[in-house]
Amino acid sequence: MPFSRLGLESRLLKAVSAAGYQQPTEIQEQAVPKALAGRDIVGCAQTGTGKTAAFILPILQRLGKGRGVRALVVTPTRELALQIEEFARDCARFTGHRTLAVFGGVGYQPQAKKLRRGVDLLVATPGRLLDLHRHGDVRLDAVETLVLDEADRMLDMGFWPDVRRIIGLLPDGRQNLLFSATMSAKVLGVIRSTLDRPVRIEVQPSATPVEAIDQSVYPVSAMQKSELLVELIKRQGLERVLVFTRTKHRADRVARVLKRQGIKGSAIHSNFSQSRRQKALEAFRRGKCRVLVATDIVARGIDVEDISHVINYDLPQDAEVYVHRIGRTARAGSSGTAISFMSPEEAGLLRAIEGLIGSTLDCRDLEDFTYAHRVVPSPEREAKKTRRLVYNGGARAGRRRRRPRRRPAAAVRA
């Protein structure tokens, strides 16, 4: 279906073609006409589905002329706020609306000043928005459309009390658009209490990873993860890699190891200033840096095209986060690869992920890598006979190891 059949007016069709979009994505095809009709929407959509345009385009079309902030997008991270506002600004060049992103971690006054000059569409993270409101620098009583973007993430990050406060400041009768990658019971509760008979749009069954992603697990002891990472990147010549670690400290450490090994990589996490994060992102976008090592919170907002590999250096504690992480590759229809390192301590986390996505991940090893420890997957994995196990001791990689006898759970042997 062409964009012209979605009910968008010519100014916005121009914006779409300026963005280089030829055909609407599935979420755009479904959401745009409903949003243009003024309906509340619940969009269950993963990252990379094109959900930003699915709400920005109808908002701009309905915005018309008026005073004050009339469209408000609330989003969990600064990076996401910047990205959404960037797209909104590009489109608003064709409609004449004023857009702004406000978020914490940067100067307050410049944002307050810009707000005073007038903003039609505001993209905000919850804390800064409430600050601005408390000080009388923003009024929210003219908001006609509210977007709650990445609602599940906002709940997970503990933003919900703030979001509730924001909702309390908005006028009744507005349009609400809620987007979430997953639909947990918590999110459904929010939908029931906030939205008015929403149209539900689901472009992927909830918590199902994008099918185009080749997903695999590399069992490895915790001690050898960095070595394995370096070998994988070097041997396979990986160029656009996003690596996830559990902590900021580990992200720094992995970035240092890569540097020592002559691989251009950089860490990015919330201890960094906004400008340092932007710099790291820019270097990665331009290909000056091959590997970005990130923690979950900051990675949420990374919209970089052509990430070929997502590597879970550490498995996430929460299985749903796995879905978000791997959604960073295979954006907007391209294919991608997701590799997860699994130390024996993480066997339970892998089980939870496999339970959530409803399939068993392919277990692989790196040919001729000298594993200092033998990592044995759990007996259930053995029973499925899908495993190629990892071991060392001079044995050739890739051969199926004999089935261990009555091993109770994943374990490492020196």
> Under the criterion CB under 6 A, does residue 52 sit at the interface with ligand AMP?
yes
Strand, helix or coil for residue 121: strand
Q: How far is CA 370 from CA 205, 212, 237, 308, 310, in A?
A: 40, 31, 19, 25, 23
> Under the criterion CB under 6 A, does residue 25 sit at the interface with ligand AMP?
yes
336-342 and 213-219 beta bridge pairing: parallel
Min CB(30)–ligand AMP separation in Å = 13
Q: Tokens for 281, please give them.
A: 């992102």
Segment contacting ligand AMP (CB under 6 A): 45-53, 58-66, 131-139, 216-224? 45-53
Segment contacting ligand AMP (CB under 6 A): 24-32, 91-99, 175-183, 275-283? 24-32
Give the Cα-Cα-Cα angle 373, 294, 355 (nearest 5 degrees): 65
> Under the criterion CB under 6 A, does residue 21 sit at the interface with ligand AMP?
yes
Segment contacting ligand AMP (CB under 6 A): 49-57, 102-110, 122-130, 148-156? 49-57
Residue 32 near residue 23 (C-beta atoms within 8 A): no
> Under the criterion CB under 6 A, does residue 75 sit at the interface with ligand AMP?
no
Of 141, 32, 38, 40, nearest to 91 by C-alpha is 32
Q: Which of 51, 78, 174, 290 binds ligand AMP (CB under 6 A)?
A: 51
Of 95, 6, 18, 91, nearest to 53 by C-alpha is 91
> What CA–CA distance (Å, rounded) separates 8 from 145?
17
Of 57 and 115, the one with the shorter C-beta distance to ligand AMP is 57
Of 25 and 176, the one with the shorter C-beta distance to ligand AMP is 25
> Under the criterion CB under 6 A, does residue 282 sit at the interface with ligand AMP?
no
> Under the criterion CB under 6 A, does residue 1 sit at the interface with ligand AMP?
no
Min CB(19)–ligand AMP separation in Å = 6
Segment contacting ligand AMP (CB under 6 A): 44-52, 99-107, 256-264, 337-345? 44-52
Min CB(191)–ligand AMP separation in Å = 20
Min CB(302)–ligand AMP separation in Å = 10
Phi then psi dihedrals of residue 184, to 5 deg: -80, 170
Of 130 and 212, the one with the shorter C-beta distance to ligand AMP is 212
Of 208, 222, 173, nearest to 70 by C-alpha is 173
> Under the criterion CB under 6 A, does residue 48 sit at the interface with ligand AMP?
yes
DSSP codes of every residue in 264-320: -EEEE-TTS-HHHHHHHHHHHHTTS-SEEEE-HHHHTT---TT--EEEESS--SSHH
Of 53 and 69, the one with the shorter C-beta distance to ligand AMP is 53
Q: How far is CA 226 from CA 5, 65, 255, 281, in A?
A: 50, 55, 10, 22
> What CA–CA distance (Å, rounded) separates 210 from 413?
35
> Under the criterion CB under 6 A, does residue 332 sit at the interface with ligand AMP?
yes
Strand, helix or coil for residue 409: coil
Rg (CA), the chain: 23
Q: Which of 30, 32, 49, 226 binds ligand AMP (CB under 6 A)?
A: 49
> Under the criterion CB under 6 A, does residue 47 sit at the interface with ligand AMP?
yes
> Under the criterion CB under 6 A, does residue 24 sit at the interface with ligand AMP?
yes
Phi then psi dihedrals of residue 209, to 5 deg: -65, 155
Residue 82 near residue 301 (C-beta atoms within 8 A): yes
Site for ligand AMP in 105-124 (CB under 6 A): none
Residue 323 near residue 359 (C-beta atoms within 8 A): no
Of 24 and 76, the one with the shorter C-beta distance to ligand AMP is 24
Segment contacting ligand AMP (CB under 6 A): 43-51, 178-186, 294-302, 368-376? 43-51
Which residues have CB under 8 Å from 172's CB, separation 6+? Answer: none
Q: Which of 34, 70, 97, 331 binds ligand AMP (CB under 6 A)?
A: 331
> Under the criterion CB under 6 A, does residue 153 sit at the interface with ligand AMP?
no
Of 28 and 95, the one with the shorter C-beta distance to ligand AMP is 28
Binding mask 304-323 for ligand AMP (x = CB under 6 A): -x------------------
> Under the criterion CB under 6 A, does residue 290 sit at the interface with ligand AMP?
no
Which chain residues interact with ligand AMP by CB under 6 A? 21, 23-25, 28, 47-53, 303, 305, 331-332
